[in-house]
Amino acid sequence: MDSAAADRPPLLEVEHVSFRYGPLPVLTDVSLAIREGDFLAIIGPNGSGKTTLLKIILGLLKPESGRILFQGRDIASGGVRPKIGYIPQKATHFDPLFPASVREVVSMAFQASKRGLSRRQGEEAAIRRALEVVGMAEAMDRRIGRLSGGQQQRVFIARAIVDKPRALFLDEPTTGVDAGTQDLFYELLDRLNKREGLTIALITHDIGIVDRHITQVACLNQRLVYHGSHAEFCRSDTLKEMLAGGHHLVSHVH
């Protein structure tokens, strides 16, 4: 880890986490820290445990062993609910006839969260702010189903950040999206990370697309095989081995 990263406090710590589906081990003794301000790419081959790790961090799955700390407190204690925005893999693209507006889709975050603002006025202000951040405020009253895939992605991000999370996690957020839209999407994430101070962690197979923005890389293959700066990863044997193994990872060293 570079010295600048080491100076930042850990926001979230994964300590010796293991998990299995029945007899099948998926994660084995995984430990890593996600620090305030990180833009982390979580990579690895199919079946390496990336999505499972994300679900454990979010509290959607319980580890067989180990623990997750959020700001130094164990989330399993029940008194800690990490403020993390989440965009799952293959986020739904709405049918053009779906009647909900952009405003209504973003407001779903409050309906699903116990942390939601109690006053309608507060909710409206938060929704407008989130949509302004992602450049979609002018589409607030449009039907979500009439937006392009790239525009819908921005609305999903607004929904994920409307409650002011400390971190945003995304699972393969640009699957099936063209390269131009992907570039704009990652530029938006970069602005959220640098200007809004949002810690970001995303699962991806194609590190070449995001290498201008990410600062840290965690490589999983049931175990954690690498965790460190992006620059060091580009020079590492881990990357060479993954490319030699035919994994869909492309790195452009600048």
Give the model confidence (pLDDT) of 149-168 as tens digits. Answer: 888 889 999 999 998 999 99
Closest CA to 20 of 34, 6, 30: 30
CA distance 145 to 101: 8
What are 50's two structure tokens? 């990336």
Q: Is the model's pLDDT at 117 over the cut of 50?
A: no
Q: How confident is the model at residue 69 (pLDDT cuts 50, 70, 90)?
A: very high
> What's the pTM value of the predicted model, to 2 decimals?
0.85
Distances (CA, A) of 156 to 36, 69, 88: 22, 26, 10
* Average of per-residue pLDDT across 11-30: 95
Per-residue confidence (pLDDT) for residue 2, from 0 to 100: 54
Could you report the per-residue pLDDT of 169-178, keeping only the tens digit for each? 999 887 767 7
C-alpha 116/C-alpha 199 separation (Å) is 21
As a whole number of angstroms, the distance between CA 187 and CA 175 comes to: 16
What strand order describes the sheet that includes 73-74? 24-35, 10-21, 65-70, 73-74
- What integer pLDDT is reported at residue 254 of this predicted model? 36
Query: In the chain, what is the greatest distance between 2 CA atoms, to the nearest angstrom?
Result: 55
Nearest 5 degrees, angle CA 248-CA 213-CA 144?
85
- Of the segments 32-36, 110-114, 184-188, which one has the largest average pLDDT value? 32-36
Q: Is the pLDDT of residue 18 over 70?
A: yes
CA dist 111 and 72 (Å) reads: 28
How many percent of the chain have pLDDT more than 70? Answer: 80
State the pLDDT at residue 53.
Answer: 95
Are 162 and 194 contacting, i.e. CB atoms less than 8 angstroms apart? Answer: no
Statement: residue 17 has pLDDT above 60: yes
Domains of the chain, first to last: 1-82+166-254 (3.40.50.300), 96-165 (no CATH)
pLDDT in tens, 195-238: 999 999 999 877 666 677 889 999 999 999 999 888 888 777 77
pLDDT given at position 47: 86
